[in-house]
A and B are shown apart, each in its own frame.
Chain A
Amino acid sequence: MTQADQTRNRMNQIVDQLNPTNQTYFHQLTTYLMTNSLFTNETALNRQLLAMAQDLADAEHDGLDAEQYFGNAPQAMGDALLAQLPPAKLREHLPFLAVLIGISWCFLIISSPNIATGLQLNLLMFIIVPIVEIIMTQLIFKWFHMTTYWQRTNRLTNWITWFVNGLFWIVCVGIMVLLIFFVPTTYQVVIGQPWNLLILGLLAVIAVSYFGYQLYSLRQK
């Protein structure tokens, strides 16, 4: 477990003990700040949130609610905090980027045509797809960040929010589908027999081991 995970766990333990109103206030604030974490130093942000959760628990103990303690403008407070927190360090995001790139490459290998001569790989796709996915991930985070404090006062605004959310996802998937048709197949390599089977077999073993490990971890918890 990383230090960031430990800090988050400690914070969640404190937040779980707050009353429902304070929990909602703090969860929204956390979502607002965390969805900006691609651009903000995660360690500093986690420490700040932990300190604020501890202070809110004290305030609740003394009979104050989150709005009385933090104020009734949480989004403005969030923006002011983000303006002061240090920017993200690239090395903090490297594991996340590595997983994202790894998963895209696995899917590209699996979905590539396995013809008689071997596995046909479009090298351009291996560069473009991860870049597009990283940009889309940033946009999705930004989107959640923007909509955290959207007022959902009635059924209509609620439906509009869901519609725009859905549209956003459709556009993201659409871009990925379009890439398959429009990326030129100029730089193709063919991985001959038996290496193609070896690679596919290796990917299958990695995937099964990963899911097995995840299931084991869940059972341990």
Chain B
Amino acid sequence: MAQTQLIKGVLEGCVLATIAEHEVYGYELIQALRQHGFTNLVGGTVYPLLLKLEKNGDLTSTLKPSADGPNRKYYQLTAQGQQTLATFATNWQQLQVNVAKILRQVTNDDPS
């Protein structure tokens, strides 16, 4: 399975987790995610996702003064976003345990 398909499912949680650390603007967020291993991530995936999270009420945005030009759009996590992130973390840990169990079993059953 292509890594892209796996990433799509977890990207939302990773975006929320990155913004939970501190408020960010779009470019800052994409760079942070790339530095965390999402090297092929592009704005075409992230910007619609940010709009979706904002529309759902998980994120909020404010315009803040920028040193090199017009005000910038910074994203912050809402209380609902913190709850969504907590749910994601629980689900992810459970999923990780389940996948690890299956993979261990497959490896043990493998006669080679």
Contact = CB atoms under 8 A, between A and B. Distances in A.
A125 interface: no
A200 to B, nearest CB: 47
B61 to A, nearest CB: 8
Contacts of B69: 10, 14, 54, 57
Interface residues of A, number: 26
B70 A71 contact: no
A76 B51 contact: no
A77 B47 CA distance: 8
A25 B106 CA distance: 47
Q: Is the interface of A mostly helix, strand, loop or mixed?
A: helix
Nearest to A17: B69
A158 to B, nearest CB: 27
Given A58-B27, A81-B51, 19 more contacts: A10-B69, A10-B70, A14-B69, A48-B47, A50-B73, A51-B25, A51-B26, A51-B73, A54-B66, A54-B69, A57-B69, A59-B27, A69-B43, A70-B42, A77-B48, A81-B48, A83-B48, A84-B52, A86-B55
Interface of A: 10, 14, 47-48, 50-52, 54-55, 57-59, 68-71, 73-74, 76-77, 80-81, 83-86
Interface of B: 25-27, 30, 42-45, 47-48, 51-52, 55, 63, 66, 69-70, 72-73
